Amino acid sequence: MRNVAIIGVGYTPVFVSKRKDVNIVEMISESVGAALNNTGLTPDDIQAVTYGNMQTFEGVNLPHLWTSDHMRALNKPTIRISTGGTTGMSTLQAAYYYVASGMYDLVMAVTWEKQSEGDSQVGLSGIVVPEAMTMVQHGMDLFSGKGMGFGGGGSTGAASYQAMSYLHHSGASPEHIDKMAALERSNAALNPYAHLRKKTTVEDVQATPMVAFPLRFGHTCPTSDGATTAIVASEEMVNKLTDGNVAWIVGLGSATSDPCTANFLEGQITDPAEQMPAKIASEKAYKMAGIEDPGRELDMCEMYNGFAHQSLMWLEKLGVCKEGEAHKMLDAGALNIEGEMPTNASGGVFSTNAIGASAMNRPTECALQIMRKIEGGHQIPKKIKKALSHGWGGMFQYVTVMVLADEPVSS
């Protein structure tokens, strides 16, 4: 396979709860325009476009085709990818496959969500409606908890089982979730492309209402409007078009387990906090990247965390530290922007969640950190040579991983 690099990133000017001034195609166009501006490329230079957003969240079909002109995809191949929370990274991985295979040299990956125009609860319900309705017919009661009914808090309700199991097995306390939440929200305050930008203390988090213990309102992500575009290039194009300040995609992986939440009809057999796909996908990515000791060799991490306990959990599941060690790293300050393993310097999904773009914003944040092109105050001071980005979604079961580096892996 050929070496592939991210050569440029384009965000919408802001990620907020409601972009009332633009419609969907206009918002996507902003991000695509920014990526072309930042790379000095024109639409003619781009050979193929991959495109990602959530199915049903805005209740629209075939958006990759009716936005084709606004995303400058005319006369080019385009494909829509929708893998749940991981959509953004899956879309970038698809662009990588195009270039790594040798089929194209310059490919653009466009990801977005405009949640203010849709209803993410309806989108999420759509995942389980047929099964849940069948169970309701057989006596499931979503209100009382009778009949295998669980529904309190929607997505938070399901995540709270994961959080509790994680706390039990890791030895972390609910206060560690508060602490991680405060750290990431405070990081987001420095990031102009974050949605919830407020310096936050542990006390601020603890003052928010409990949704489903152990998760509070202050542990959950917002719903955001925003789009992110990344342009990937072959090594030949990197040499021809850039000054060499790019971020190389040196390893990637993805894996699914069985659905480990809401598997009503056929028996849930997997602990939602087990997350074996994270181990499988990251081992594949580390091997490609030539990484033997992730905890030592990685310089930063960007985790997909719809809920604040997850950053800690992923550090363990992705082998950055041993099981039960992440909260100790947090206590030691290692996860701070100035720490040994800065984690979610961007503020994470937990602070900004335009879902289709959320797993894209992890590798793009890593790329911009490597290129030292971070806008705002969250540039990690040390040189970033290798960075880990991660996506998560589906029915708590699908994981994507991408390792970025300042140099390609020599083959």
Partner 1 sequence: MAFEMGPETRQVQGMWDISTYRYRMEGGGVRLLTEAMKEKRIKGVRCNECGMVYVPGPTYCRKCFVDIDEVVEVEDRGTVMSYCVELADVRGNPRETPLISAMIELDGADSWFVGAVVGIEPEEASVGMRVKAVWAENPVGSLSDIEYFEVLEE
Applying CB under 8 A, which residues contact partner 1? 13-14, 16, 19-23, 59, 122, 126, 129-131, 133-135, 138-154, 157, 160-165, 168, 192, 209-215, 258, 264-269, 271-273, 375
Q: Which residue has the tokens 């009716």?
A: 66
Looking at beta carbons only, is 77 or 139 nearer to partner 1?
139
What does the chain come to in residues?
411
Nearer to partner 1 by C-beta: 57 or 104? 57
Work out how close the CB of 268 gets to partner 1 at its nearest, in angstroms, rounded to a whole number: 5
> What DSSP designation does 236 have?
H
CB nearer to partner 1: give 210 or 409.
210
Pick 135 or 252: Cβ nearer partner 1: 135
Q: How far is CA 160 from CA 70, 220, 301, 408, in A?
A: 40, 11, 23, 40
Nearer to partner 1, 102 or 130 (CB): 130
Q: Smallest distance from the beta carbon of 151 to partner 1, in angstroms?
A: 3
Smallest distance from the beta carbon of 169 to partner 1, in angstroms? 8
* Of 189, 238, 227, 391, the residue nearest 301 (C-alpha): 391
For residues 254 and 93, the answer to whether their CB atoms sit within 8 Å is: yes
Q: Least distance from C-beta 287 to partner 1, angstroms?
A: 25
Q: Least distance in Å: CB of 264 to partner 1?
A: 8
Which CB atom, from 163 or from 403, has the smaller least distance to partner 1?
163
Taking residue 199's Cβ as centre, other Cβ atoms within 10 Å add up to: 12
Neighbours of 79 (CB within 10 A): 14
- Report residue 222 as tokens: 């917002």
Show Cβ contacts of residue 15 under 8 Å, excluding neighbours closer than 6 positions: 193, 194, 195, 224, 225, 226, 352, 354
Q: Which is nearer to partner 1, 138 or 322 (CB)?
A: 138
The residues pairing with 401 across neighbouring beta strands, listed in sequence order, are 253, 390
| HSE-CB of 139 using CA atoms within 13 angstroms | 3
Least distance (Å) between residue 250 CB and partner 1 = 32
Q: Least distance to partner 1 from the beta carbon of 360, Å?
A: 20
Token couple for 389: 């980005």
